[in-house]
Amino acid sequence: MAEAVSQESSREADLEVLAARFDPEVDRELLQLALTHRSYAHEAGGVPTNERLEFLGDSVLGLIVTEYLYAEHAEVPEGSLAKMRAACVSQRALAVVARELNLGAAVLLGRGETNSGGADKDSILSDTLEALLGASYLSVGLERTRVTVLQLLDASLRNAAKAGAALDWKTSLQERSAELGLGVPWYEVSYTGPDHAREFTAQVIVADVVRGHGVGTAKKHAEQRAAEEAFASLAGEDA
């Protein structure tokens, strides 16, 4: 009993430390939910996961970053703005921010994910950060969440113009394929594993030829990795 009380007190202290780094005004129940990965929820008997908050936070993040880039880069065309946004909100970029917040130490994971290093996986860290932004939006509204996003992503936003295309491999591949007259790439995606621990495998086909493969914990991540491989395979071909 005493050990359980001690663990609960330690958890509450950890949440307060995270809240101080992120935003002290975020509702603590929503903060706890934002940190609840599906692997933990599954082992805990089906408690709610952070996936709905992640869905919301992804949209909030996209809006804030899009609006910022639109205002700051008035002469940049839509296609380039899309690539800049992709660079800022990529899994890799968000995972960097999540590590700065030490999210890996706070996220609740199942035993399997814990043992496989889930606390330092880019996919889990980036998804958890998006869930936190969803919790922030529900707790303190859009304007305060905007301040948080702009602070957390300051470096990415300042470097967006330089980062650009390479981080949005699907767009880059589509443009390269069009330049070569090969048509629009299309993707075949499959997955294995239970709902709480799925692994997606994607292959991208260009002009009836499989050009790239990718694996990830989300469909979009597997497709991006397949597109990166395919882009590399087309890089040396002439139009």
Whether 78 has a binding-site annotation, put simply, is: no
**Which of 58, 113, 122, 223 is an active site residue?**
58
Between the ranges 114-118, 177-181, 182-186, where is the mean pLDDT highest? 182-186
Whether 54 has a binding-site annotation, put simply, is: yes
Same domain, 146 and 80: yes
For residue 172, name the pLDDT band (cuts at 50, 70, 90).
confident
- Identify the three-state secondary structure at position 104: helix
Same domain, 39 and 107: yes
Give the pLDDT score at 3: 47
Same domain, 184 and 92: no
Same domain, 107 and 13: yes
Between the ranges 13-22, 51-60, 118-127, where is the mean pLDDT highest? 51-60
Task: Show the tokens assigned to 53.
Answer: 């908050």
Kindly state the average pLDDT of the residues 92-100: 92
What is the DSSP code string of 45-101?
A: TS---SHHHHHHHHHHHHHHHHHHHHHH-TTS-HHHHHHHHHHHTSHHHHHHHHHHT
What is the span of the domain harbouring residue 160? 1-166
- Of 164, 134, 122, the C-alpha closest to 53 is 134
Kindly state the average pLDDT of the residues 114-119: 91
Give the pLDDT score at 4: 45
**Which of 130, 168, 223, 228 is an active site residue?**
130
Give the pLDDT score at 2: 46
Q: Is 58 a catalytic residue?
A: yes
Same domain, 124 and 38: yes
Same domain, 1 and 76: yes
Structure pTM? 0.71
1 pLDDT more than 60: no
Same domain, 194 and 207: yes
Boundary of a domain, candidates 113, 135, 166: 166
pLDDT tens sequence across 118-164: 999 998 999 999 999 999 999 999 999 999 999 999 998 988 876 65
DSSP state of 106: T
Cβ-based neighbours of 235, under 8 Å, separated by 6 or more: 176
What is the DSSP code string of 179-226?
A: HTT----EEEEEEES-GGG-EEEEEEEETTEEEEEEEESSHHHHHHHH
Q: How many residues does the chain have?
A: 239
Same domain, 142 and 215: no
Kindly state the average pLDDT of the residues 109-122: 92
- The CATH number given to whatever domain includes residue 61 is 1.10.1520.10
Total domains in the fold of the chain: 2
Same domain, 159 and 177: no
Boundary of a domain, candidates 166, 192, 217: 166
Give the pLDDT score at 8: 61
Same domain, 181 and 92: no
Boundary of a domain, candidates 144, 166, 188: 166
Give the pLDDT score at 160: 80
Give the pLDDT score at 129: 97
Task: Show the tokens assigned to 171.
Answer: 């767009």
Whether 175 has a binding-site annotation, put simply, is: no
102 pLDDT more than 60: yes
175 pLDDT more than 80: yes
Kindly state the average pLDDT of the residues 66-81: 90
237 pLDDT more than 80: no
- The CATH number given to whatever domain includes residue 228 is 3.30.160.20
Contact 131, 34 (CB under 8 A): yes
165 pLDDT more than 80: no
Indicate the range of 36-45, 96-105, 172-181, 227-236 predicted with least confidence.
227-236
Same domain, 103 and 208: no
Same domain, 136 and 34: yes
